[in-house]
């Protein structure tokens, strides 16, 4: 095998990250600079920033932006953080936003690689490219809509990195920022509680309050508490109204597709909405409960925290009531971890049929997110819908397979640590 090694220059991960950066710059910011794009979610941030500059802060959560269904749904701290967008035109802002998205993506890969090395897992030089290819469909959707899921996943990853580096306040600030951006990141809070990490829990609570109360005061100084209540009300309303759209790829939407009599007729049961919500709650509770099965403490630290962090990252994506294609771009860390675990190639992983099966399902589901793959298979439409992968819900199947795969890896490694 020694004769098949890559040239020394190609063994530098920084070169691969530079190539990834160049490809993404050519594909997105330069294209956006030449042809003005319509970035649906970015338009929400841009419009909200302009309204804040015009003194309409108290109406932040009460007035739609790009369309009747598009509201600013993020914590007040993020309204303040994105205020600078108001000074840019929509076109220039879209180009700058795509450059920031590249930075979040590359930084997530770099931090993921460092965390794997810190835990003693080997990471191949091509791991970053493999992660991008695995998540290529969600990442394309992230750029095409100007969304913030890569930033969301990066904030969670930075929180994990600071936690294992024993920088508790930095970890708390990053997690509080992630929760303020998208609420499902709060799944880390019951995890900390069950591990009796009371200090971590308290610090995150303090940071959440400080960030968003401070942000609300800057946005609506006359009544910051009312602004926070408006935010909570909007989150509750938007979760229920958009949870079952065709583009929704959450665990709840997956269960609805196969357990209720919807228009696509793929269901094996015809549950009522009340029963569906009960089943979804039980499934989510069971998946979260699986984190406490076995003896994960046998992994030692920081390995247990890092693997658990990857599992919770997958869970926060799956459990989000409004989860879209781009939301899965937040899974850079879990996918990088799987690549590292298999590269380290502990014998106990190689001999496990369940591990091979869950890994194969996750890889196949990732492959089937491409419309061209379905066309190659001769399936152009399913129940009148050309986006076949949305109908069969390949992304939540991939998320479930990744979760089970990581759980099995953790179980195997805790019993037979390398």
Tell me: the pLDDT tens digits for 175-217?
999 999 999 999 999 999 999 999 999 999 999 999 999 999 9
The long-range contacts involving 88-95, CB below 8 angstroms and separated by at least 24 positions, are: 88/46, 90/36, 90/43, 90/46, 91/32, 91/36, 93/42, 93/46, 94/32, 94/36, 94/37, 94/39, 94/42, 94/146, 95/29, 95/32, 95/33
- Sign of the CA dihedral 41, 45, 48, 53? negative
Q: What is the pLDDT at residue 305?
A: 95
pLDDT tens digits, 320-372: 988 999 999 999 999 999 999 888 766 666 677 888 899 999 999 999 998 88
For the chain, how are helix, strand and coil distributed in percent, rounded to 5? 75, 0, 25
Q: What is the DSSP string of 299-341?
A: G-TTHHHHHHHHHHHHHHHHH-SS--GGGGGGGHHHHHHHHHH
Q: How far is CA 193 from CA 65, 189, 206, in A?
A: 38, 6, 15
What pTM, to 2 d.p., does this model score? 0.94
Tokens of 101: 């998205």
C-alpha to C-alpha distance for 370 and 256, rounded to whole angstroms: 23
Give the number of other CB atoms < 10 A from CB of residue 412.
20
- Please, is 413 exposed, middle or buried when counting C-beta atoms within 10 Å of its C-beta (0-12, 13-18, 19+)? buried
Tokens of 182: 């998208």
Three-class secondary structure assignment of 65-103: CCCCCCCCCCCHHHHHHCHHHHHCCHHHHHHHHHHHHHH
Closest CA to 61 of 241, 231, 235: 231
Please give the chain's pLDDT, 418 residues, in tens: 344 566 665 677 888 899 999 999 999 999 999 999 999 999 999 999 999 999 999 999 988 876 667 889 999 999 999 999 999 999 999 999 999 999 999 999 999 999 999 998 989 998 999 999 999 999 999 999 999 999 999 999 999 999 999 999 999 999 999 999 999 999 999 999 999 999 999 999 999 999 999 999 999 999 999 999 999 999 888 766 677 788 889 999 999 999 999 888 899 999 999 999 999 999 999 999 999 987 887 788 899 999 999 999 999 999 998 899 999 999 999 999 999 988 876 666 667 788 889 999 999 999 999 888 998 988 988 888 888 999 999 999 999 999 999 999 898 888 765 5
Closest CA to 355 of 406, 287, 418: 406
Q: What is the pLDDT at residue 5?
A: 64
Closest CA to 171 of 142, 198, 207, 135: 207
Is it true that the peptide bond before 374 is cis, omega within 30 degrees of 0? no
Tokens of 321: 């009531």
Tell me if residue 249 falls in helix, strand or coil.
coil
DSSP 382: B
């Amino acid at each position: 095998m020694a004769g098949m090694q890559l040239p020394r220059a190609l063994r530098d991960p920084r070169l691969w990250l530079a190539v990834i950066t160049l490809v993404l710059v050519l594909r997105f910011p330069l294209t956006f600079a030449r042809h003005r794009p319509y970035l649906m979610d970015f338009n929400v941030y841009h419009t909200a920033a302009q309204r804040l500059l015009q003194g309409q802060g108290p109406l932040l959560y009460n007035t739609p932006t790009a369309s009747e269904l598009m509201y600013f749904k993020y914590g007040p701290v993020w309204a303040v953080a994105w205020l600078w967008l108001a000074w840019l035109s929509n076109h220039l802002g879209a180009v700058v936003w795509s450059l920031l998205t590249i930075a979040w993506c590359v930084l997530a890969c770099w931090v993921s690689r460092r965390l794997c090395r810190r835990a003693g897992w080997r990471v191949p030089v091509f791991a970053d490219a493999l992660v991008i290819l695995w998540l290529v469909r969600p990442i394309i959707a992230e750029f095409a809509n100007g969304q913030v899921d890569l930033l969301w996943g990066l904030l969670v990853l930075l929180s994990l990195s600071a936690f294992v580096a024993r920088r508790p306040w930095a970890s708390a600030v990053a997690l509080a920022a992630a929760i303020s951006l998208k609420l499902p990141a709060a799944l880390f809070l019951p995890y900390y509680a069950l591990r009796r990490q009371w200090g971590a829990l308290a610090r995150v609570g303090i940071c959440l309050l400080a960030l968003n109360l401070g942000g609300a005061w800057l946005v609506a100084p006359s009544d910051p508490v009312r602004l926070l209540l408006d935010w909570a009300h909007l989150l509750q309303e938007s979760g229920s109204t958009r949870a079952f759209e065709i583009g929704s790829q959450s665990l709840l939407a997956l269960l609805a597709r196969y357990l209720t009599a919807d228009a696509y007729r793929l269901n094996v049961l015809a549950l009522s909405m009340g029963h569906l919500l009960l089943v979804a709650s039980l499934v989510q509770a069971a998946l979260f409960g699986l984190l406490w099965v076995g003896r994960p403490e046998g992994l030692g630290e920081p390995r247990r925290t890092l693997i658990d962090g990857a599992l919770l990252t997958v869970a926060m994506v799956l459990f989000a009531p409004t989860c879209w294609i781009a939301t899965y771009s937040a899974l850079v860390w879990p996918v990088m971890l799987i690549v590292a675990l298999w590269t380290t190639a502990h014998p106990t992983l190689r001999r496990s049929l369940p591990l091979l099966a869950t890994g194969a399902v996750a890889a196949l589901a990732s492959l089937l997110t491409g419309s061209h793959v379905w066309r190659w298979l001769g399936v152009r439409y399913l129940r009148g819908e050309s986006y076949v992968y949305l109908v069969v819900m390949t992304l939540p199947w991939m998320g479930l397979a990744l979760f089970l795969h990581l759980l099995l890896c953790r179980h195997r490694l805790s019993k037979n640590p390398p």
